[in-house]
Structure formats: C-alpha cells, structure tokens
Amino acid sequence: MAGPKQDTPSCILVSLRACSSAPPNATTAASKTSTGLPIAVTFCHATRPGFSNFSVHCPGIVRSSSFMLPTFISQDADLVLLRVPLDPRSKVDHSFYSDYFVYSVNPQRPELDLLPNPYPESFGDNEIAILSCADDSYVVAALQFVPGIKPTFKLHLYRSTDGKQGTWTSQLLSVEQPLRHKVCPIPESAERQIYHRTTKVIVLGDDIGTVGWVDLWRGIILCGVLSERPMLHDLPLPLPAKGNLSSFLNCCPSYFRDITVNQRKDTIKYIEIEITAPKKVHVPSGSDPDWVAYQGKPNSIVPGSWTATTWAVPTLAASWYAWHVKCSASLDNLSLPPVKDNPKLHKILNRLLSIGDCEEQEATGATLPLGCLCMAYPTLTVLDDDDVYFLSKSISMRNIVSLVTVDVKNEVLQGMRVLVNNRSFIRDFSSGISVSGASASLGQAKKTEANKYGRRGKEQVQERLDRLKSICTRASGQSEEHM
C-alpha cells in the first residue's frame, strides 16, 4: 500500500476496521455501491507502531454498530480487498448484505472497483484473498471446506477482465495428499473435530498464483489459483508446543499463533507462544474468621511466563519436514534497553506494573515483575526481521491494553504503546506492506514477472504443479516412515 514519503517498501500495521473521518488525499478513490450510493476510500498511512487505516465515506449508510464498519480483508502489492456492509443483517450474512470493493492504493491513479455479489455463495472474511497479476489485472479467490469423507473444498474465483465486470466461478476440489491427519491427528478430546477451519489467508504469488488458506491449529491448504487445473496441497504446521496441548483445537488459535509471508514471498514465517498467565489470588490468614468474605478480593499476584518460538519454510520447497526453528525467546531471558536509550518504554512499564489503583500510588509505589503482564496474540511482520508484536494487558490496572514489540532473536523488549482505554483484548489489526510510488515500482515488478514467465504458459504451470505434487508425495512417504 502506498504511504506518503516512503522511499522503500516498509512494514505497516493496518487496522481491520475502517474509519470515516479522514480528509481526502492523493490515494482517495471514488465509486458507487450496488445500491447507487456514492462511496470514497482513502488510505491513511501511519508509521509503526501506529495503525494505518482506511477511511470509507459513504453518505446514506448508518454505522449503527461495529458490524456495520467497512472491513479490510486482504492485500497483495498495491491492491486491497474491502468489504462494505450495507445492512445490519450483514452480521449474519457477510456476502449478501455487503459490497466487495478492490481498492488500488496508487497515488498516481487510485481506483475503486465494485465486484459483483457472489450470491448465493457467502464467504467469511478470513476465507478470501486478492492476488495481483500482470497487466494490472487481479484475481479474488475464496476457499470453503465441504464436510465429507474425503477432504474436499469449494474454490470460488473472480477474475478482472480489462475494466469490464467479470463473473464468479466455482469448482469442487479434493486435497491431493492429505497429510495433517498423519502428522498430528485430532485428539478425541478436542472440541473441534473438523478437518479444516480457515483462520487466515496468505498469498505466495509465483507463476501459478499460489494462495494458502491457513488453519492456524492444523495447517495450510495451498492452491495455484491461476492454473487451468487448480490442485489442493496440504502443508501441516509444526506440532503444537507442549504447553499448548490442552488448548489445541479447543480455543482461538490466534491467541497463540500467527503466520505470514515475507515481502519477497520466498519464505513463510510462523510463530507460536506458550503462555502461563499471571493470576490474582487472595491469601487468607489462617486466623481470619471472615476469610470467606474476602474470597475474590485478591491481594497477591502470581507472575506468569511465556516462551515464543518462530519457524520458517521456503515457499519453493514447502513441506512439513522443511519447517525449521529460527529463534526463540522467553520472558525469563527478556532484557530491556537502558533507560537513557528508551525512557518512554520505561515510563510506560512503570505505569503498567505499578502496585496500586490510583495515579499517585502508581507514580510512587513499587513495581511488579514483567510476568504480571498478560501477553498474547503474536503478530509477525512481513519484513525479514525477528520483530514480533504482542497484545499485552496489565493485571494490576483494568482495561489497559498495550502493543508490545519484542526482538525474538535477541530477546529484547523494544517498545510499548498504550492503546485506547476500554479496548477489547483481541487482535483487530494485520501487518502489511507500504510501498512508495505504487504505479512505478509495482508496475515495473509486474512487467518483470510477466517477462520472466511469459503469459504464464502451460509448461511453466505444469512444472510448478509437478514440483508441488512431488514434494507432497515425498512428505507423505516420510510421514508414514515416522509413524
């Protein structure tokens, strides 16, 4: 996405919910909704750890609740897929009561394309991706699991057609070599007993337009959506950490895990964090006859702990056995920069870790250990670095949520940013790329890609498919040997 005064590609954090208060700028693009209402979208850039966001101005639509806010769905290069709710019933059916727009964040030529409604199909926001192709074209792809004996999915595709509105197509596909049930079977005790539930979509690109639909508990379904004969391949994720076995398939995986593709699209990055949450406890006196009355009024805090491990796998050799650990960090080994190097960080920590409920006590009271911060929702950057963002909540102060930056490789707490009060403790942002001169740099990249692969000839496509099939077949054989 294009940010002002950016000379090189850089990572940004993007709010998933759009706002409606930003003034127009060079990225503003206008169109009309399916009901004929005027709509304008503007990209508002912010340097990390601030959140960039999209401003959607559409007079006539009443934003009566958070479910009526336009939503950032997916990004590839300078193209963004947005969903704009038109009716409160969009809470129940995202697709039928919403419009989908493809927004080109290009200061030289911003555009906003309305897609035809996919009715009678209906997609979840985490099931759709946009893929930027050569010649300024694009593909929107959605993949939905179809329950049955054999792992089967329904692939929905929309291809742009030289400025004319195209149509949605659908086809049923089966997974070529299901691997995850061999690598990590579903425990009988797990609440979730289905083969796949998409948590996130990643775009690998390449000559056949590979997209990955990620179940953050189990694995990735890879599909070359530009192929004439799309095929599905299963890439299991690394085995769950020992400390998360009780949570495996029993709660939200995003609380513990994240996955992304780096900006060069040659590496898949993955992280898992093991969490022992801090606790407030009441320690009654043995001689206190009224100790029962004080139950639930904690006067002591038991610090928690956490360990984060990052993994990587090359996109061109993606198999379960190609996953390798990059680095690991634990709370016990985490260090802080000197006060003189980052006084703001130390000031925030002193406030969040102070003992007491009022500002005066917080300013003068003793401080608690870092283990008294609840850490969860790891978020990887798309850069080739080891920085990870976490959401943090102070156990000593109510409703204070912070964004924490940790250098996992060097085990250094790099920064903290206190978010707005009364914010829910949930990840409502995503990492993305901000690219300067979108029309020039990205346009040149697309031309280079087109020259390299020609018109995505059948020979290159078939070679890629054969390579993926060979990798999956080899991995299947290896997993059987290790059973």
pLDDT > 60? residue 468:
no
pLDDT, residue 87, reads: 84
Residue 129 lies in a domain: no
Tokens encoding 134: 């050569």
* Nearest Cα residue to 6 out of 59, 57, 60, 43: 43
Lowest-pLDDT range of 142-156, 348-362, 408-422: 348-362
Beta bridge partners of 367: 354
* Nearest Cα residue to 415 out of 52, 48, 53, 12: 48
Residue 312 lies in a domain: yes
Phi-psi region of 372 (alpha: psi -120 to 50; beta: other; left: phi over 0): alpha
**Please, are residues 202 and 261 in contact by the beta-carbon 8 Å criterion?**
yes
Phi-psi region of 265 (alpha: psi -120 to 50; beta: other; left: phi over 0): left
Q: Are residues 462 and 396 in the same domain?
A: no
**Please, are residues 223 and 231 in contact by the beta-carbon 8 Å criterion?**
yes
Last residue of a domain, one of 384, 401, 429: 429
pLDDT, tens digit (0-9, with 9 covering 90-100), for 307-327: 999 999 999 877 899 999 999
Of these ranges, 93-102, 330-339, 455-464, the one predicted with the greatest mean pLDDT is: 330-339
Residue 127 lies in a domain: no
Phi, psi angles (nearest 5°) of residue 463: -60, -45
CA atoms within 13 A on the CB side of 316: 6
pLDDT > 90? residue 110:
yes
Residue 361 lies in a domain: yes
Decide: helix, strand or coil at residue 208.
coil
pLDDT, tens digit (0-9, with 9 covering 90-100), for 21-45: 789 999 999 999 999 999 999 999 9
Q: Are residues 403 and 382 in the same domain?
A: yes
Distances from the Cα of 370 to the Cα of 304, 343, 350, angstroms: 8, 17, 10
**pLDDT band of 163, cuts 50, 70, 90:** low
pLDDT, residue 150, reads: 87
Q: Are residues 253 and 351 in the same domain?
A: yes
pLDDT, tens digit (0-9, with 9 covering 90-100), for 33-84: 999 999 999 999 999 999 999 999 998 787 767 778 999 999 999 999 999 9
Number of compact structural domains in the chain: 3
Determine the Cα angle at 428 with ends 424 and 432, to 5°: 155
Q: Over the range 2-20, which residues count as b (16 or more CB within 10 Å of their CB) and which as e?
A: bbeebeebbbbbbbbebbb
Residue 61 lies in a domain: yes
pLDDT > 90? residue 463:
no
Q: Are residues 215 and 87 in the same domain?
A: no
Residue 307 lies in a domain: yes
* Structural domain range at position 193: 137-237+439-483
d(CA 33, CA 163): 17
pLDDT > 80? residue 259:
yes
Q: Are residues 193 and 106 in the same domain?
A: no
